[in-house]
Amino acid sequence: MMADATPASVSRPLTINPDGRLAGRIALITGASRGIGRAVARHFAAEGAHLILTARTQGALEELDDEIRAAGGQSTLSPADLTEYDTIDRMGAAIFERFKRLDILVGNAGVLGTLGPLAHADPQEWDEVFAVNVTVNWRLIRSFEPLLRMSDAGRAIFVTSTAGHRPRAFFSAYAASKAALRMMVLTWADELKNTSVRINLLNPGGTRTAMRSKAFPGEDPETIKTPEKITKYFVELADAACARNGEIVEVPALLAAEEKGTK
């Protein structure tokens, strides 16, 4: 397993507001074991959501679950390799059985693959990158659309990347998969525009995680923003009051505008 660039020790203690913006909302977060997904899970928990946490690394999910419960929050663990697609269908059935709805879906789990010339990409790794970054998210859409429609205000957020819309040499399968994810999600958002479900993408920009360290090994992680800095934008898109649909929230531009505003 890759070392986590955002260990639990650097996060602020978790305080739960049971009347927060996401109070009582049922939220499934993929890739919750570390990095951006873990930080989003902690912020959603702080806002009162009931979390369903998934990733492959059971120990990391248990640690997060312990922290959330100790703070008085609620979470359910569902450790899985999501590329074993049937597990997604089983998760859908279990969530229906228990909650009869899903309020928030965060499709965050992703893999970078190996950066390098397209012509040299390893075929097996190419398939793995597309499996995690595209097909898993389609299987989530397939399994969870009915449950999101059962919510009074279903919200779905998928995590994209600048690499998916601005060509950058050597980003290979990662760039192509994020471009595919973007069009898939925008297509789905258009399909459901006349429902109460709201579907958006979020581009976090460079964020201090294991994936970022793998992509830019020479970079000083201290110069890159932490995942905690961006989680409020996920909360906005997850809120029942959010009216946006079919948009790509560009976090770097929002943060730059905020910084300018405070100077």
Ligand X SMILES: NC(=O)c1ccc[n+]([C@@H]2O[C@H](COP(=O)([O-])OP(=O)(O)OC[C@H]3O[C@@H](n4cnc5c(N)ncnc54)[C@H](OP(=O)(O)O)[C@@H]3O)[C@@H](O)[C@H]2O)c1
Determine how many CB atoms are found less than 10 A away from the CB of residue 214.
15
C-beta of residue 194 within 8 angstroms of C-beta of residue 246: no
Which is the catalytic residue, given 44, 158, 171, 174?
A: 174
174 labelled catalytic: yes
For the record, the structure tokens of 133 come out as 């970054």
Q: Which is nearer to ligand X, 14 or 248 (CB)?
A: 248
209 near ligand X, judged by CB under 6 A: yes
Binding residues for ligand X, how many (CB under 6 A)?
A: 27
- 50 sits in the region (left: phi over 0; alpha: psi -120 to 50; else beta) called beta
Q: Which is nearer to ligand X, 75 or 161 (CB)?
A: 161
207 near ligand X, judged by CB under 6 A: yes
161 near ligand X, judged by CB under 6 A: yes
Q: Which is nearer to ligand X, 35 or 154 (CB)?
A: 35
Determine how many CB atoms are found less than 10 A away from the CB of residue 9.
5
Closest distance between ligand X and the C-beta of residue 152, in Å? 28
Closest distance between ligand X and the C-beta of residue 33, in Å? 4
Tally of helices (H runs) and strands (E runs) in the chain: 9, 7
40 near ligand X, judged by CB under 6 A: no
Closest distance between ligand X and the C-beta of residue 194, in Å? 28
Closest distance between ligand X and the C-beta of residue 209, in Å? 3
Spatial distance between the Cα atoms of 247 and 158, rounded to a whole number of angstroms: 11
C-beta of residue 29 within 8 angstroms of C-beta of residue 54: yes
23: helix, coil or strand?
coil
Distance of CA 90 to the CA centre of its chain: 20
Q: Site map for ligand X, 101-130, x if CB under 6 A? A: -------xxxx-------------------
C-beta of residue 61 within 8 angstroms of C-beta of residue 111: no
- The interface with ligand X within residues 215-244 (CB under 6 A) comprises none
Active site residues: 174
Interacting residues with ligand X (CB under 6 A):
30-31, 33-37, 55-57, 81-83, 108-111, 132, 159, 161, 204, 206-207, 209-212
